[in-house]
Amino acid sequence: MTRVSSTARAAVIVTVVVVALLGSAYVLGRSLVPDQTQRHATGVTTEGDGTHYADQPPEKPSTGTPTGSPTASQSAGPTEAGQDGSGQNASGDKLFGAHTDTGNARLALTFDDGPDPRYTPQVLAILREYDVKATFCVVGENAQDHPDLVQAIVADGHTLCNHSWHHDVTLGNKSADQIRADLVRTNEAIRAAVPDAPIVWYRQPGGAWTYPVVSVSQQLGMTPLHWSVDPSDWQAPGASKIAATVLSQVEPGAVVLMHDAGGDRQGTVDALRRILPALSSRYELEALPTDPT
């Protein structure tokens, strides 16, 4: 009986040692394989036929934290408004002279993040229907991908605005050389589509203005453009809420911020059909001038 017990005990010990060795080998092997979930941490993802920015809801939200939405460790920084109504962004910094109004009694509608093949043509069609001119703050990579839409924007008499190469909210924190390279690259993509179209406005993504980004944009002949009315359509709250916010907050000289790309913009398109008849009856709407002073 003693012999059997010793043999069994030895077998158990050998088994435990083998299992431990196999477990260690597995852990070591896993540590050598790159984490596939950490690739492309750029803040920009491609969803189907459009670009989606990390500070905006995904096209089709799922349960849990939506892909591309801010997490506790990845804040979107300032809201796309970046405003608390005080003329300062969320961090308390001033706008460094960025324009927040038209300088007259007219209203200016502005559309950010495009062009997008799903929503920009719809926005253009509605503006054309009401004979309204607007300002489109285009992202360089989207201008490069859809030069035909940039051409359509200009052909309809709208004004162009540089909105950085890939909607970089942190651009203003980079060196002047990096900022300049980003804005120049964006202008080159726009001019590849419309060589003679003036680009005299620059809008910083997220409204995250800094002195360097304002200074560089001015050196390149562009005027920094902020806004005074933000319906937070980038959060896709629905057409009714977007329209109600715009109509309740506009006043003479307002610059209205909306989006024709960067996420699901159908709510913005639908809201525009409600907004334009009301605004057109109360105000004159204009594209921002191509010779700002």
Q: Which of 17-21, 60-64, 151-155 has the highest mean pLDDT?
A: 151-155
C-alpha Rg value of the chain to the nearest Å: 26
Q: Which member of 168, 259, 260, 264 is catalytic?
A: 259
Cross-strand partners of 47 = 50
Measured in degrees and rounded to the nearest 5, phi and psi for residue 137 equal: -90, 100
Q: What is the mean pLDDT of the chain?
A: 79
Measured in degrees and rounded to the nearest 5, phi and psi for residue 239 equal: -60, -40
| pLDDT at residue number 50 | 56
Whether 112 is a known active-site residue: answer yes
- Whether 176 shows a pLDDT value over 90: the answer reads yes
Whether 259 is a known active-site residue: answer yes
pLDDT band at 129 (very low <50, low <70, confident <90, very high): very high
Among 39-53, 99-113, 242-256, the minimum mean pLDDT is found in 39-53
pLDDT in tens, 75-113: 233 334 343 333 344 445 579 999 999 999 999 999 999
pLDDT band at 249 (very low <50, low <70, confident <90, very high): very high
| pLDDT at residue number 94 | 78
Q: Which member of 112, 113, 116, 233 is catalytic?
A: 112
**Mean pLDDT within 226-246:** 97
**Mean pLDDT within 21-36:** 43
- Whether 266 shows a pLDDT value over 60: the answer reads yes
| pLDDT at residue number 95 | 94
List the structure tokens of 287.
Answer: 């594209």
pLDDT band at 292 (very low <50, low <70, confident <90, very high): confident
Show the 3-state SS of the chain.
CHHHHHHHHHHHHHHHHHHHHHHHHHHHHHHCCCCHHHCCCCCEEEECCEEEECCCCCCCCCCCCCCCCCECCECCCCCCCCCCCCCECCCCCECCCCECECCCCCEEEEEECCCCCCCHHHHHHHHHHCCCCCEEEECHHHHHHCHHHHHHHHHCCCEEEECCCCCCCCHHHCCHHHHHHHHHHHHHHHHHHCCCCCEEEECCHHHCCCHHHHHHHHHCCCEEECCCECCCHHHCCCHHHHHHHHHHHCCCCEEEEEECCECCCHHHHHHHHHHHHHHHHHCCECCCCCCCC
The fraction of the chain above a pLDDT of 90, given in percent, is 67
| pLDDT at residue number 247 | 98
The fraction of the chain above a pLDDT of 70, given in percent, is 68
The secondary element (H helix, E strand) that includes residue 223 is: strand 223-224
**Mean pLDDT within 119-136:** 98
Give the chain's domains with CATH numbers: 97-282 (3.20.20.370)
